Amino acid sequence: MPRLAITPGEPAGVGPELLAALANSDLPADLIAIADPDLLRAAARASGLALDIVPYIATEYVQHRARGSLRCIDIPLRSASHAGRLDAANAAYVIDTLSRATDGCLNAEFDALITGPVQKSVINAAAIPFTGHTEFFATRAGVNVVMLLATPALRVALATTHLSLRNVPDAITREGLIATLSILDRDLREKFGIATPRIAVLGLNPHAGEGGYLGREEIDTIIPAMEILRAQGMQLIGPLPADTAFVPEQLALCDAVLAMYHDQGLPVLKAQGFGEAVNITLGLPFIRTSVDHGTALDIAGQGKADPSSLIAAARMALQLVNTSRTKAAS
């Protein structure tokens, strides 16, 4: 069975109980939690879920996983965790789980990685610089990456990720757009099995700049980058005004949308499919998916958390693994 590594994220959030719910799904994969097993057991009890945790042994391969079971790589908490209460003492624990997961993916020990939500603020409060999963994996793997969120009906990639809005225009360059679109095009082919991807590119400014009247980024940066890639055979549409790019008639013409900044594209995607959306990091030498929500500290430990997004992330990871295996065998 494919080995899917899972990190539950912030121990005081909903991640541990979502992982227990994932273990109780019928996902046909070897689920390997990278976490403190006692934390997972406590989360399962609080949610009224059965959970059978088996110590992970790398040389053992699973042919069948019983519902409610998973294997676990024991990463101990640094401090006792209490649902809903952040503790900077456990920031290093979160980083330890991510580091172990990354190393296992880079050496092909795992087929894919699924991550639960982290709390960036408490990690930084512990004097550990951390801007997000995407940036962490990019740095550790030494590659450029692209953030893509996907629902069953829509894929939205980002040219910039977690930046202040006032810093976005300076971060959008021809070279950066060429790199981002190249990664997006390649992974749509290799990971999603789309032979000739069609990518809609949004403008930065209202009305895509309206011929320069509302801004020149489209004329000076976005269009020149697109022309270079079109000359190489890439199928690019736009730049399109963001306020009309997501109408059904337009979306029917493309396989993915590249938004220029975080809140340009993601509100549309999450309004359309919150709970079904999956965060995927493209450009990594391994498959990584994640939930589309945060730590939900206000409901943590109460058995109220909806596991739909984590289950969707795991199913997407399994789909990408199977697509990659099929392409490798052909």
DSSP E strand stretches across the chain: 3-7, 30-35, 52-55, 69-74, 112-115, 146-150, 155-158, 198-202, 235-240, 256-259, 278-282, 287-290
Distance from C-alpha of 239 to C-alpha of 250, rounded to nearest angstrom: 12
Distances, alpha carbon 69 to alpha carbons 30, 61, 114, 161, 315, in Å:
9, 15, 17, 35, 17
As annotated, the binding site for a divalent metal cation includes 162, 207, 262
Residues 6+ apart with CB under 8 A from 326: 193
Q: Which of 194, 169, 181 is nearest to 228 (CA)?
A: 181
As annotated, the binding site for substrate includes 133-134, 270, 279, 288
Amino acid of residue 161: T
Distance from C-alpha of 31 to C-alpha of 4, rounded to nearest angstrom: 5
Q: How far apart, in Å, do the first and last CA atoms of the chain sit? A: 20
Helix (H) or strand (E) holding 15: helix 15-23
Sheet (strand 155-158) strand order = 52-55, 69-74, 30-35, 3-7, 112-115, 287-290, 278-282, 146-150, 155-158, 256-259, 198-202, 235-240
28 C-beta neighbours (distance < 10 Å), count: 11
304 C-beta neighbours (distance < 10 Å), count: 12
Distance from C-alpha of 241 to C-alpha of 208, rounded to nearest angstrom: 5
As annotated, the binding site includes 133-134, 162, 207, 262, 270, 279, 288
Say how many CA atoms lie within 13 Å of 35 toward its Cβ.
32
